[in-house]
Each structure stands twice: as structure tokens, then as C-alpha cells.
Amino acid sequence: MTSQAVRLFRKMDGLFAVYKPQGVHWKHVRDSIESNLLKALNSCPPPAPQLAVQFQLLSGGENSSSKDVVLSPSMVPTLADHPLVTGPQFHKVHVGVGHRLDAFSSGVLVLGVGKGNGVLEHLCKSHVTRDYTLEGEFGKATDNFTHTGRVIEKTTYDHVTLDKLERVLAMIQGANQKALIMYSQVDLHTQEAYELAVRGLLYPHGKSPPILTGLRCIHFNPPHFTLEVQCVNETQKYLRKLIHEVGLELRTSAVCSGVRRTRDGPFKVENALTRQHWTAGSIIQAIAHFSKATRKIRKSGMYKQTAGQLNSSAQVQEQTRSQTEQINQEHVELSSSTSDTVVDRETPFH
């Protein structure tokens, strides 16, 4: 006979996504989610207290004189089981964080609860990319590449046009494609490698620097512009530096005024929970919503582990790529890109 609290706790197992607001450290997000879950668990009624025999002085007895007080036994609940003495039923809920977001950025943050924490590890090792929207502003350069930092220099930007920006972006993309091919350790002169590249399944193996698999400009209104990026192995600071370098290439300077993650693997911004919904009920609903994606990630992760034991690298790559393809096919991608690519792609970016 499980109590209501235990039944609720067993539902808290899986992955879900949260929209982290800007200016908030990811640890605060994780802590407030954990305290909300604990609040819901501890508000469930506690288990019934144990009864103990106590001899109490009660007056009267059938065959004694009425004046005598007599000891008679009765079962009373022990105070040692009172909730004010035992404390809350649950002290800790394991809530883990996937790919972290620094305080300046906002966007989709994947969290795992309970057994989902194991799947988080597989997610981090799996071949998923992340989707960012970067807001930039021409005209100044600061020390930490953001618009709130200390200004180092100011420049003019009248000469910047969309055409020049697109050219610069294409050049950056070309460099990133070369890096991707190099770090994915395939020989591009083979048919197999060509097919992988066409399907968009090239992925860097082992340690690699941040690589952008997709980059385009979605909004241009000088001095403000917006870039959309798909990337792998990145940090948010690297993306801000990217904006700065775009400015340098255009012979002006640029700062980043916003980094927003819109997708992390199969977790998209439409299903991320906003601050009002960081309650136990909504979280359990979100876990149920993402259960299918979670199962796929877990399967692909377990597959990779067993494949690693097989000790055959080509086999591993082939198998993991087929798994990745399955996961990536779940995504509804963006409309076809406009920028140039070195490798001709049929499918849109991942």
C-alpha cells in the first residue's frame, strides 16, 4: 500500500524543458524547481502514525468502588510519528541540468528528474545540435562582447549592407564546414562519406572546438541584426565572440545584445515551461509529453555503450549515425536556408 506521496514521487522520472529567463543563474532555476517538487510531495498527507499501548489513569472500573482511579490500557498514536517530530517526508529530489546556459542567455534548458538524470548523460553524449538566435548591434565593442559591458571602441557602420553581411557569414560557414569534416574523421573521397554529408549526419568525434553546422541572418535593420545558428560543442561566450568577429570582418564592431536558445536536441521552445508553470503538476505533464523522445535518447545511449564493447569503430559510427538519423527525423526543421554551403545538402539543417 503506497502512500499518495510515494505515488507522486514515482511519476517524477524523466526529462523536460524549461525556459530560463535572462539574468537568472541556471542553479537558481534548478533549485526553485526542486523546491517546488518537494513542496508538492510534502503537502501530501503523511502515513498513519503507529499505535502504542499506554496505561492511562481513568476513573471507574466495573467491579471497583467508584472513587478509585484505575490504570487501563488503550492504544494511542505515538507522538514520535507526528509530522512535527519526524519532519518532512521527502528531503531531496534529484534534479539535474543538461547543457547549461549562462546568466546572460535565455532559452530552452533541459532538466532531468529522478531516473531521467541517467538519460541526461546520454543526451549530452549524443549527436544532437542546438539552435540559437543571436541579437547583434553594430557600432561599438565592449570587453565582454555584450551590450552591458565596458565600451572599448565605437565605430561607424553605414557601409554595412545585407549583401556584405551574407558574404561574411558564408565565409564563416565554409570554415566551419571544413572543421566539421576534419573532426568527423571521414575521408571525404569515399562514397560513404559523401552520402553521410548529403544526409547531414557528419558529426565531430571526441573533443572538438565549437562548430557551427548552420548559420544565417534572419533580420537586418542597421544597427541591429539577428543571426540564427545551429551548433555543436559551443559555449554562449563563443557565440557572443562570433558576433564580435562578424563585426570585425565587416570592418566595424558589433556587440551581442541577446543569446536565446530555441532548441536543444528534440526539446523545442514551444514545449518549454515558463516561470508560472514551474509546479509539480505541469512538470509531470511535460515529462509525459517528452517520454517518447526520452526513450529514444536512452535507447541510442545504451546502444552506443554496447557498441563500444563490440570494439569495431566503423560499425559503431554506422550504428550511431542511424540512431541519430532516427532522432533527427523527429525534428520539424526550419524552412530551407538561404546561405551557401560547401557540401550540397538535400535536407535542411539539423
Partner 1 sequence: MHVCQRCVSLLLSRPLSAAGQQSTRALHQRSHLILLQHSTRQSPVHRLSQGHSRETWRHFTDHQAASPDVYNKTDLAQKKVVPLNSDVHRISSQVSLSDSQSIDLDAAVRASPLQEISEEEAVQIQVPSALPPESSTLRPYVDKSETLSKLVQLGVNLWELEQRPNVGSMLVRLDFHADVAPRLLFLKDLGVEESKLGRLLTKNPFILTESLDNLEARVSYLKSKKFSKQSVAVMVTKAPYLLNFSVERLDNRLGFFQKQLGLSAEKTRDVVTRLPKLLCGSLEPIKENLKVCELEFGFRGNEMQHIVTTVPKVLIANKRKLTQIFDFIHNTMDVPHSLIAKFPQVLNAKFLRIRERHLFLEYLGRAQYQPSQPNYISLDRLVFLPDDVFCSEVALAALEDFERFQKTL
Binding site for partner 1 (CB under 8 A): 19, 21-24, 52, 55, 57, 61, 63-64, 68-73, 78-80, 82, 84-88, 106, 260, 269-270, 272, 274-276
CB atoms within 10 A of CB 161: 12
Cα separation, 152 vs 156, in Å, equals 14
For residue 268, the minimal CB distance to partner 1 (Å) is: 10
Nearest residue (CB) to partner 1, 45 versus 88: 88
CB 89 within 8 A of CB 5: yes
Nearest residue (CB) to partner 1, 17 versus 250: 17
Nearest residue (CB) to partner 1, 128 versus 272: 272
Which of 31, 102, 158, 187 is labelled catalytic? 102
Nearest residue (CB) to partner 1, 1 versus 53: 53
- Whole-angstrom CA distances from 26 to 22, 98, 100, 105, 117 are 10, 10, 7, 10, 16
Nearest residue (CB) to partner 1, 24 versus 170: 24
Nearest residue (CB) to partner 1, 164 versus 275: 275
For residue 49 the three cell numbers come to: 502514525
For residue 316, the minimal CB distance to partner 1 (Å) is: 38
Using alpha carbons only, what angle is made at residue 234 by residues 348 and 230, rounded to the nearest 5 degrees?
A: 15
Active site residue 264: no
Provide CB contacts within 8 A for 322, sequence distance 6+: none
Nearest residue (CB) to partner 1, 122 versus 130: 130
CB 204 within 8 A of CB 211: yes
Active site residues: 102
